Structure 1
Amino acid sequence: MFELDRITAGYERRKPVVREVSLRLAPGESVGLLGPSGCGKSTLARVAALLHRPDTGRVTVDGETVRGWRHRAPRSQRTAIGVVFQQPRLAADPRLTLRDLIAEPLRATGRRAEAAERTAPLAETVGLTPELLRRRPHEVSDGQLQRACLARALVLEPRWLVCDEMTAMLDASTTAALVAAVEEYRRTTGAGLLAVGHDRVLLERWCDRTADWAELTAA
């Protein structure tokens, strides 16, 4: 189980942008978090990805309460969660080729030897050719770079995925391809998914259920 319990979160010297929000995700379940731009749902997504410490509240991953955030989180919890952000160019090191970008989490966790074995099939799954893998971020489109970022999120075989507006900047065909890649991964692994967005039609077609931000924060 993945639980966000009464989360309040914000940024230094500002009022909280998330207040007393709770959300629960079961293994294998896909939940859409629907809300307008600027409402705070991306902050909640960063809390869920263990990238932002909440002011109050509790995050539980696979039955264990999270005690640390970012690099202070236990490796077992960090690697249990894969995350894809809205803007791939802000999330990608411009010095790396797409092949090295995908393999980045393997190097960071001491699994460099698995890079060749893991990178090629993942690249194929998300629709990247061997030629594209040799390019750097400035040499590919936003859609191609987001495909690489999705592959990077999957390379450690996480049990939970957080997709924060993953398709907001993409065309319809790339959106369909990335959603299909996520669903194929979930079908084969049983991973749970939190998909954050403002497109009700997409989330309701993609997810088992959709949580409306307005309803989560009404109380």
Structure 2
Amino acid sequence: MLTGLGITAGYQAPVITDVSLTVHPGQTVGLAGPSGSDKSTLARVLALLHKPFAGTVEIDGETVTGFRFKAAQRTRIGVLFQQPRLSVDPRFTLRRAIAEPGGDRVGELADLVMLTDDLLGRRPHEVSDGQLQRACLARALALNPRYLICDEMTTMLDASTTAALVGVIRAYQRESGAGVLAISHDTTLLTRWADETVRLSAPLPR
């Protein structure tokens, strides 16, 4: 039904209804909307972390039928969340966090996101939000995902770190042809970054 990563779904109550979204390989789609419009819920459905209330998610023409348990499908999707400190085990060093998905590319990935070797031996509480988010991006790219979901990834970052991370993602897209879903309340960022932007409406009273 859809090329790339798509959804027509609601979730639970449902809080989202009648949403259709497609991300083609090599394309960056922005997702905007006011607070409470459930952008992050949609992101988690697309990342196969939540099962949709109705409708389907397809990856490269293949309908997803088992959420949370489809390892082969989930490894095609990398996810970068808004709060890196909730995304990394506080006991892990940055080196271990990057290596968590598997593989032996820690040094290569650290260079890609501009993390120095001394930072790799530190734990989350010993680094800044920007440094930790760089490590999270390296981890998200570790398995060479076909699609990358960035859920408000720049909210806690300064302008220079935001520009650096977006630059890394764009370079990865050029090399791999990956599709990107960029979720943000920053319309200026989406205007500069995304090829097109989908906007969710304000939620109705419940």
Give the TM-score range, shorter chain.
Answer: over 0.9
Amino acid at match of 2:158: D
Shift of 1:54: 1.0
CA contact (8 A) 2:149 2:181 kept: yes
1:181-196 superposed matches below 5 A: 181-196=168-183
Could you give the per-residue CA deviations for residues 36-80 of structure 1, whole angstroms, max 9, x where no partner exists?
12211110000000011111110000111001111x12x221110
Mind listing any 5+ residue stretches in structure 2 that lack a counterpart?
none
CA contact (8 A) 1:6 1:20 kept: yes
Q: Aligned partners of 1:139 and 1:207: how far apart in 2?
A: 33
Give the equivalent residue in structure 2 for 1:8.
10
Could you give the per-residue CA deviations for residues 59-107 of structure 1, whole angstroms, max 9, x where no partner exists?
000111001111x12x22111000000000111011111011001011x
Number of residue pairs the alignment of both structures matches: 201
SS in 2 for 1:56: coil
Q: CA RMSD in A?
A: 1.4
Higher helix proportion: 1
SS in 1 for 2:79: strand
Shift of 1:34: 0.8
Could you give the per-residue CA deviations for residues 126-150 of structure 1, whole angstroms, max 9, x where no partner exists?
1110000000111101111000000
Higher strand proportion: 1
SS in 1 for 2:34: coil
Give the equivalent residue in structure 1 for 2:16.
18
CA contact (8 A) 2:7 2:46 kept: no
Give the equivalent residue in structure 2 for 1:208.
195
CA contact (8 A) 2:150 2:180 kept: yes
1:108-127 superposed matches below 5 A: 114-115=103-104, 118-127=105-114
Q: Aligned partners of 2:184 and 2:54: how far apart in 1?
A: 24
Give the equivalent residue in structure 1 for 2:45.
47
Mind listing any 5+ residue stretches in structure 1 that lack a counterpart?
107-113
Aligned mate of 1:97, from 84, 93, 104: 93
CA contact (8 A) 2:8 2:57 kept: no
Shift of 1:17: 1.9
Does 15-24 or 180-189 show the bigger shift?
A: 15-24
Give the equivalent residue in structure 2 for 1:199.
186
Q: TM-score, normalised by structure 2?
A: 0.94
Q: Aligned partners of 1:35 and 1:190: how far apart in 2?
A: 27
Q: Aligned partners of 1:120 and 1:36: how far apart in 2?
A: 39
Could you give the per-residue CA deviations for residues 148-205 of structure 1, whole angstroms, max 9, x where no partner exists?
0000000000000000001011111110111011111111100000001111110110
Q: Aligned partners of 1:60 and 1:6: how far apart in 2?
A: 10
CA contact (8 A) 1:3 1:22 kept: no
Q: Aligned partners of 1:5 and 1:149: how far apart in 2?
A: 25
Give the equivalent residue in structure 2 for 1:169.
156
**Runs of 4 or more consecutive aligned structure 1 residues displaced over 2 Å after TM superposition:** 1-6
